[in-house]
Chain A
């Protein structure tokens, strides 16, 4: 299963290393990771997505929780969570019509187009990982020159 973990940590040097090291040393995988300071500068929020069976995910959460530098560890319910990732694609323009085709595609996915050059175009997409993957598949025939993803950021819906 795919799991989204939201981890509130002390905003101190070395914590990112400890968290990622835990994944490595316990034989867990990081699918994506994003980190940023919260409204309270004492804390950072890490969002990590990972794959594993239910037992493994439960172990990851427990091991993260056991870490002294983690303040709060939650496994977010995918269906009650808003989760998005930003991805930049640099796509090749070979034919005259490519630019328009890609523009249409980007619009369909709610993306923005930047930096249109003679032979390349850049698309910015903020979407779920599945949507990004779908867009990537559709962009492939044009030729993807480069791409960069931020990793998922996620917040549970509702007031608390």
Chain B
């Protein structure tokens, strides 16, 4: 036994052990930016098979790792140096935490003996990151590194996924130690799995069967656990209309007759209307965010709630559930599918409720007033949908364009739409698209963007060009911080402050200056050609689409009001 262990041990530096441990986890690439405190790690790139993808700002490295993680469901890895490098990735870590995305962030730290002395480029990143990570490690000796990495990956990708930070002091990277790469390990206080309670699933079926107006609310957890087939089987067997949260957008094919689209602040009119009329909801993998449900009190007062989630702390946090099923939602839904089959439940006749749902849906399809111009958001995004293959991956930035994407870009293949929905991080979409393209190089990847948000990480064009990662930036350009402008028009009597971005920069020239392709599209015809050119191009493309800065995102549920009090286009 002891000699076995001796055979497994190998003497090497902490930095080498880090790379070897990551290779063992299947890491193929790292998004990052070097600096003084992580130089020993960077020195190892020359001696291993892991590809390094250089960014121009560490926040983008984190978003790339996040995008990679959401698409591949394996943690993406980002590297940053100590001090400002580490604080720059914090926004990216917080974004991943808010949206339960698996990620490993590795930061350099000043040498152990310098910690706490306010050294050059020292920041207490462990202390700062604590509330926004799933877990954080700071190995104080080189020998701790392999196990920290192993545990870090395990924690990041199991249960409710999230970001893990590994902060490694520079001397710990340099020091040599006898390394053991463990196959087995124990994390005592970590219980990521729970077996769903079958009795409660049974009760949930009965509650749905005995409700007059039942509905399914699919959240982001449905996408994380890939419960697409199970969700569809249940919706069809019980003939339940399906709404989603914004994070759950595309958990259910949006061209399905039972699909109503996302609810919430900028939800589809038909989805909000039906959610407001329903009497029982099967809520899957959702935290009932305020953006989704409006007012908490009104929502739970009116509805019987069946809540399925992997995180027991979500049960009862924002909404009180009558029936709770804790566990991976795919497993819970599989049990439900099995029970429905056993009990031979398969509805074929439309209930008055489902008839009403379908009527409401077709009413809003015909009667929602859209921007009258040729280049209204709906027309632009529907053109994109028409030309994009269904397996394409779409990310979004944060702002009006994001909500228009939610309203007018239908996700047909489940799990192909990603957005910063929890933290709402401007600048997320473009680097996340790059990460997504690295995860799935053979499908088109499009960042639906606005000019305000894209400006924040536009220098990732350098990464896209130099690293040959041809994504498409689909830029709805209203030369302003459009969502803030909309709030100022709506709630501040048109007192516009701090929202005008002018026509600066020229995004076509900007793209070209990076060696990317820039195309301006000022009509639907030009847009048609631009999308086709971008799709057949092997270089990153920015399609700059000037739009009306006065166009609002409607419908709109004002903060603090309920879904039934939706503001509609007049």
Contacts and interface: CB of A to CB of B under 8 A. Distances in A.
Given A59-B313, A66-B311, A17 B127 contact: yes
A158 interface: no
Q: Which interface class (under 10, 10 to 19, 20 to 34, 35 or more) fits A?
A: 20 to 34
Contacts of B126: 14
B569 interface: no
Interface string B305-337: 000000111011100100000000000000000
B131 interface: yes
B319 to A, nearest CB: 11
Contacts of A67: 189
A65 B190 CA distance: 9
A70 B131 contact: no
B548 to A, nearest CB: 41
B130 interface: yes
A58 interface: yes
B312 A65 contact: yes
Contacts of A58: 316
Given A10-B189, A21-B131, A71-B188, A65 B155 contact: no
B312 A68 contact: no
A62 B313 contact: yes
A95 B127 CA distance: 52
A49 B317 CA distance: 20
A62 B312 contact: yes
A55 interface: yes
B2 interface: no
Given A17-B127, A18-B130, A21-B131, A59 B317 contact: yes
B313 A66 contact: yes
Q: Which interface class (under 10, 10 to 19, 20 to 34, 35 or more) fits B?
A: 10 to 19
A29 interface: no
A63 interface: yes
Given A17-B127, A18-B130, A68 B190 contact: yes
A10 B188 CA distance: 9
Contacts, number: 39
A63 B127 CA distance: 19
Contacts of B189: 9-10, 67-71
Contacts of A65: 312-313
Contacts of A70: 189
B135 interface: yes
B187 interface: yes
Contacts of B320: 55
Given A10-B188, A66-B311, A70-B189, A59 B316 contact: yes
Nearest to B151: A68
Contacts of B134: 68
Contacts of B187: 68
Contacts of B190: 68
Contacts of A68: 134-135, 155, 187, 189-190
A14 B165 CA distance: 15
A17 B130 contact: yes
Interface string B106-133: 0000000000000000000011001100
Nearest to B311: A66
A55 B315 CA distance: 11
Nearest to B320: A55
Contact of B312 (A9, A10, A66): A66
A101 B138 CA distance: 56
25 contacts: A9-B189, A10-B188, A14-B126, A17-B130, A22-B131, A55-B316, A59-B316, A59-B317, A62-B312, A62-B313, A62-B315, A62-B316, A62-B317, A65-B313, A66-B311, A66-B312, A66-B313, A67-B189, A68-B134, A68-B135, A68-B155, A68-B187, A69-B189, A70-B189, A71-B189
Given A21-B131, A68-B189, 15 more contacts: A9-B189, A25-B131, A55-B320, A59-B313, A59-B317, A62-B315, A62-B317, A63-B313, A66-B311, A68-B134, A68-B155, A68-B187, A68-B190, A69-B189, A71-B189
